[in-house]
Structure 1
């Protein structure tokens, strides 16, 4: 037997010496509508407060067909970009919609992602926002008849599911172009899974920068694995061992890849040697504390969250969802100590 006491509304009614119906009306905010006396309301609320009781959310969901919860599926909470998105979405759910956010992680595993969505659906969430970890549209289409589903941060090319993503190509092109225009003859690119939209967008921006500056892409400039820290470490280690030096410029396709790059540089040279210029997609305040000046593309997590939720609630209310969109980003220039949109 469990050591924990689970009270029901029947227990509150018994302790307050009222009927179950009366206790339910009071606790669900319908006392005035049914003309329940102030003394009875006070007694029921006093008992509920003393026993830290709130009405069952599941029971409310059955009556209203709304659970007042939204689900979020993200690859990794240790990724600061995904954590920032989750933080922004939790705040907006709570403060703007009076909703609760439920979060599950996929670990960039399509099977775990599907299981996570299934768990959220089983919990009767009213809608789901997903940062997809696969380009397989069929994995997501089956859920759209069950509840509103929206993609955030990444999109799936073959899917009609609405999405909100960052204008990655434009920002990466600008940052890499500036490095080339300032004299860099070599810009190495470390990226994630090639089939993901974010990987294609960031790589497209990199290649646009090369074309814009009349630079020919070299065979040992572009490497893609996944967005794990371990991959950043392995890619940096392999490149250094193959060339006996660091590249003139290096662009890391995510903050997690950059973490791995920095781990190798620190272990090998205590940050005393490094690429001539380091650039990354996504930012973190700890980069301000490093002796290396790292320029970063900064995503607008609040707007990503806001538009994702607008899409969810539009679908939930039976309206046409807002159009999918790209959200502008900005660049944090640490080499020059400035931030520009």
Structure 2
């Protein structure tokens, strides 16, 4: 049986009406450095796929000290992190490279061990999402000469891009206070914050934003209105039940600090009458499209995963200095409204 000869870079160049060097740059991800237009690079990559062309990454790695692998390290696969991973994978493939995505479950030792394993494959770059020990990871990457950038968790030793958590929290708090109806009971008329880890910058900034607006609108924000009980569903279910029992019902307003925490709270909410739920103004700092189908209103904050990934790639492409920090404003989705809103700042 006669074998069909493999397509070469010259075949792609002829079809794309481009030089072989331009095709090579598009396929190995260096097209930006050569000021090649993104549309041109994407067209070349599409033609290469039509030809069934794939670079021999292992051989290329031996020649150039590059493997063609770009890694993403993240805590888990919730909706937000999964959306980040999807945007990351698409962007890496558009650059003609291969994405590697690993979850470490917020385990400090697992994070470092995974980075060491990835380094053994001579990865071209590392994107780190929500790390519990960013400084240790950055130290290792610097010693291993691995380009790296942090997302959702700032690091003073490397460039970082994060959601503007404080601005998002202020917007969400304004919305739940605007929507709430006083219940006539002092403790229940206070808004409450539940979920997250106060030792992590994201939660700390959200608490700061929540407390600022509550203090401005209602005079003060007490410590017992904040319960950073973690992200586990079981903990969230237990803590909302305890709050319900302590107050004698749901509060007039509740700020829920992540989608997983919201899922835990829903476990409890289905056990009480629907009219009690409707009397509580709910807000979640995370986005679930199906949330608009719930039988009670929930305001939501959507973090812009594609913009976060685009900014992270730009930081690496520009060789940004350690400590560079970019904040991306999230979007507010008001209850029963499918359209996003700009933050009122």
**Aligning the two structures, in what range does the TM-score lie when normalised by the shorter sequence?**
0.7 to 0.9
Residue of structure 2 equivalent to 1:89: 88
Offset, 1:160: 2.1
Offset, 1:139: 4.1
Change (3 A) 1:322 1:140: closer
Residue pairs, 1:271-310, within 5 angstroms: 271=274, 273-274=276-277, 276-310=280-314
Matches of 2:233 and 2:12 in 1, distance apart?
57
Q: Does 1:167 align with 2:167?
A: no
Change (3 A) 1:192 1:124: same
Matches of 1:63 and 1:188 in 2, distance apart?
58
Offset, 1:242: 2.4
Task: Please say which structure displays the higher CA radius of gyration.
Answer: 1
Matches of 2:288 and 2:170 in 1, distance apart?
21
Offset, 1:301: 0.7
Give the secondary-structure state (helix, strand or coil) at the position aligned to 1:103: strand
Q: Runs in 1 of length 4+ with deviation above 3 angstroms?
A: 26-33, 52-56, 181-185, 270-273, 319-323, 335-338
- What do residues 224-245 of structure 1 show as CA deviations (whole Å, max 9, x unaligned)? 1222323322221221232331
Residue pairs, 1:207-226, within 5 angstroms: 207-226=211-230
Matches of 2:206 and 2:308 in 1, distance apart?
17
Offset, 1:194: 1.4
Offset, 1:213: 1.4
Give the secondary-structure state (helix, strand or coil) at the position aligned to 1:134: coil
Residue of structure 2 equivalent to 1:243: 247
Change (3 A) 1:333 1:55: closer
On the 8 A contact 1:250/1:278 being kept in 2, the answer is yes
Change (3 A) 1:32 1:53: closer
Q: Calculate the TM-score normalised by the size of structure 2.
A: 0.76
Change (3 A) 1:271 1:214: closer
After TM superposition, the structure 1 stretch with the greater mean CA deviation from structure 2, 331-340 or 242-251, is 331-340
Corresponding pairs, count: 294
On the 8 A contact 1:74/1:131 being kept in 2, the answer is yes
Matches of 1:32 and 1:180 in 2, distance apart?
59
Give the secondary-structure state (helix, strand or coil) at the position aligned to 2:224: coil
Matches of 2:165 and 2:252 in 1, distance apart?
23
Matches of 1:276 and 1:91 in 2, distance apart?
40
Residue of structure 1 equivalent to 2:340: 339
Matches of 1:226 and 1:129 in 2, distance apart?
24
Residue of structure 1 equivalent to 2:261: 257
Q: Calculate the TM-score normalised by the size of structure 1.
A: 0.77
Matches of 1:172 and 1:101 in 2, distance apart?
32
Matches of 1:57 and 1:107 in 2, distance apart?
30
Residue of structure 1 equivalent to 2:18: none
Residue of structure 2 equivalent to 1:39: none
On the 8 A contact 1:191/1:203 being kept in 2, the answer is no
Residue of structure 2 equivalent to 1:329: 330
Change (3 A) 1:312 1:230: farther
Residue pairs, 1:1-341, within 5 angstroms: 29=9, 56-77=56-77, 79-95=78-94, 97-135=95-133, 137-146=135-144, 147-156=146-155, 159-181=156-178, 185-266=189-270, 268-269=271-272, 271=274, 273-274=276-277, 276-315=280-319, 323-335=324-336, 338-341=339-342
Offset, 1:177: 2.4
Change (3 A) 1:181 1:29: closer
Q: Which runs of 5+ in 1 are unaligned?
A: 1-14, 17-22, 34-51
Residue of structure 2 equivalent to 1:48: none
Q: Which runs of 5+ in 2 are unaligned?
A: 14-51, 183-188
- What do residues 34-67 of structure 1 show as CA deviations (whole Å, max 9, x unaligned)? xxxxxxxxxxxxxxxxxx9966422221112222
